[in-house]
Amino acid sequence: MAAELAQELRPATDPGPLVQADLATEDVGLVDFAKKAGKNIFSVIPDATRTQTYLKGPANMHYVCDPEMVTDLLAGVGRRFPKSQFTHNVIGPAVGNGMILSEGQKWKDQRHRYAPLFAARNLPVLTAHFAQTGEELGTFFANAGGKVDVADAAQEATLTNISRVMFSGNEAVSKQEVRNAMRSFTDYISYMSLFDLMGLPKWVPRKKWLKSKEPIRALRKLARDVIETRQAKRREVAEDFLDLLIEALESDREDIDTTVDNLLTFVAAGYETSANTIAWGLYLLAMHPDAQAAIRQEVLKACPSGPIAYEDLPKMPLLQAHVKETLRLYPAGALFARDATEETTIKDVTFKKGDVIMFPVYSLHRNEKLWEDAQAYRLDRFLNQTYPRGQYIPFGDGPRICIGAQYAEAEIMVLLASVLRRVVFTMSDAPMPGLNLTFTMRPGGPILLNAIAQG
C-alpha cells in the first residue's frame, strides 16, 4: 500500500534540479589535489565517478564505485585494510585511540564492548530523549513564522540530544556550555591540512599546529568530568547513553582515557551527520510537497499527539523510505578511504601495498549506471525494493559499518516526525547553499525554508 502511494506521488512536473556537489570535471594532479581538498574534497573527486564504476586517481589513488568491488574491499579480502593515514592525521588528535581509528585486536575489543550500547533494546530509552527534543524543535519551527534556517535548527537539536544522552548529569555545566564546546570541537576536526592530505610524515610541521587545541582539551575535560560525576551517582536502571557507557566502562575495566576517546568519537560521528540529514530531508520535502503531505498523514495516523515513541517508528514506512532516500542523495559520510596493506586484485584491478582506496559514497549513490533517475528524489525507491550489496552504503559496510546506524536512523525519524506533525515546509526565495565536504558533508551556508505552523 505504501509503495503504491509513493509511486503515485512522483511529481507530474519536474520540481527542478536538486542541489548537487561541484565535482572535478578536469584531471587533478597530486599537488592540486592537496591544495583543493583541504577546502572542499568535492573539488577533487572526478565528476566521472557518477558515470563510471572505477577510476584511477592521481599517484596511488583509486576511486571505487562498483558494488562488487566495494563489498569485496570492505567485507571480503580487503576487510582488514586500515583507515587511511590522512584520516588518522586529520582527526587523530581529537579522538585519540577511540574505535573510529583503532585497528586489530584493540578495535575488536572496543567494538565488542560498545556494540550493546547501540542495540535495539536500548533505543526505546534513547528515543524518549529524542522525542523531547523533537517536541521542542516542532515548537521552534511553529513559532518561527516564516523563513528559517533549518540547517542551524537541526544542529541545535542534535546538539541538544547529545547533551541529554551523553553529557547529562553534571549540574555545574550548562547545556549551552556543552553545545558551545561541541561546536568548537567539530569545527577543529573539520580543518584539513594540505600536508595531511599529501600523506607527509607526522614530524613535518602543519599549519594546523598553529590552531589552538583548546577545543579538544576543553571537551575532553568536560567529558571526563561528566563521566566521573555520573559514576559517583550511579542509577540502578540506565536512563541514557551515559549510563550505558559507564556500565561498559566498569564491567570491562576499560581505562577512563579510552572511554573519553570513544565518547568524543560518538560525538564527532553523530552530531553533524544527523543534523545535516534532517536539514536536507526537510529541503527535499519542501521541494516535493505531495510527498511531504503523505508522510505527514502517515505520522499523524501513527502518533497523532504526544511524544513519538520507538514503537511508533515501524508504522511510518514512508518516512523511513524518505530518510533512506535523503541519505542516498546527501550522505553525511560522503567519502571514506582505506590504505591497502598488501597487493590485492579484484575484477582485474590491482591495488598495490600502500595504495589509497577512495570510496566516494556521494558518487556511488548517484551513479547513473546503478540507479534509475539517479539525480532525482523518489520516495518509492526504498519501499519493497532491494539493491545489490555495496550499492547503498550511507553507514559503510563490512565489520566496520557504523555502530550507531540504528541510533542515527531512530533520531532522524523521531525529529522529522515530531516536526512534520506541526509544520509545513515550502521553498523560500533564498538561494540554496552548495555542498562542502571535509570531515563530513555539510551545507555551504544556511538552508532557508518557509515554516508554516499547522492548526
Q: Delimit the domains of the chain by residue range.
A: 2-453
Give me the pLDDT at residue 431, please.
Answer: 95
Give me the pLDDT at residue 368, please.
Answer: 97
Give me the pLDDT at residue 422, please.
Answer: 96
Distance CA 267, CA 279 (A): 18
How many other CB atoms are there within 10 angstroms of residue 97's CB atom?
18
Give me the pLDDT at residue 191, please.
Answer: 56
**Nine-digit cell string for 121:** 533494546
Nearest Cα neighbor of 262 from 212, 215, 227 is: 227
- Tens of pLDDT along the chain (455 residues) come to 565 655 555 655 667 789 999 999 988 776 677 667 667 889 889 999 999 999 998 888 899 999 999 999 999 999 999 888 767 766 666 666 778 778 888 888 888 878 887 888 889 988 999 999 999 999 999 999 899 999 999 998 998 888 787 766 555 455 666 667 766 766 666 555 555 555 555 544 445 544 556 767 777 887 888 888 877 777 777 677 777 777 777 776 677 788 888 877 777 777 788 999 999 999 999 999 999 999 999 999 999 999 999 999 999 999 999 999 999 999 999 999 999 999 999 999 999 999 999 999 999 999 999 999 999 999 999 998 999 999 999 999 999 999 889 999 999 999 999 999 999 999 999 999 999 987 789 899 999 999 999 87
356-359 and 61-64 beta bridge pairing: parallel
**Nine-digit cell string for 215:** 577545543
Question: How far apart, in Å, are the Cα atoms of 363 and each of 54, 66, 109, 115, 367?
Answer: 11, 11, 33, 29, 6
Distance CA 43, CA 120 (A): 38
The secondary structure of the chain, three-state, reads CHHHHHHHCCCCCCCCCCCCCCCECCCCCHHHHHHHHCCCHHHHCEHHHHCCCEEECCCCEEEECCHHHHHHHHHCCCCCCCECHHHHHHHHHHHCCCCCCCCHHHHHHHHHHHHHHHCHHHHHHHHHHHHHHHHHHHHHHHHHCEEEEHHHHHHHHHHHHHHHHHCCCCCCCCHHHHHHHHHHHHHHHCCCCHHHHHCCCCCCCCHHHHCCCHHHHHHHHHHHHHHHHHHCCCCCCCCCHHHHHHHHHHHHCCCHHHHHHHHHHHHHHHHHHHHHHHHHHHHHHHHCHHHHHHHHHHHHHHCCCCCCCHHHHHHCHHHHHHHHHHHHHCCCCCCEEEECCCCEEECCEEECCCCEEEECHHHHHCCCCCCCCCCCCCHHHHCCCCCCCCCCCCCCCHHHCCCCHHHHHHHHHHHHHHHHCCEEEEECCCCCCCEEECCCEEECCCCEEEEEECC
Backbone torsion region of residue 254, taken as left when φ is above 0, otherwise alpha when ψ lies between -120 and 50, otherwise beta: beta
- The CB-side HSE value for 306 (13 A sphere, CA atoms) comes to 7
Give me the pLDDT at residue 203, please.
Answer: 46
Calculated CA dihedral for residues 170, 93, 268, 257, nearest 10 degrees: -40
CB 446 within 8 A of CB 430: yes
CATH number (3.90.1150.10, 1.10.3720.10, 1.10.630.10, 3.30.70.2340) of 2-453 reads 1.10.630.10
Distance CA 133, CA 152 (A): 15
Give me the pLDDT at residue 205, please.
Answer: 46
Q: pLDDT per residue over 308-362, tens digit each?
A: 999 999 999 999 999 999 999 999 999 999 999 999 999 999 999 999 999 999 9
Residue at 296: amino acid letter: R
**Nine-digit cell string for 24:** 572535478
Nearest Cα neighbor of 292 from 302, 307, 282 is: 282
Nearest Cα neighbor of 300 from 312, 310, 285 is: 312
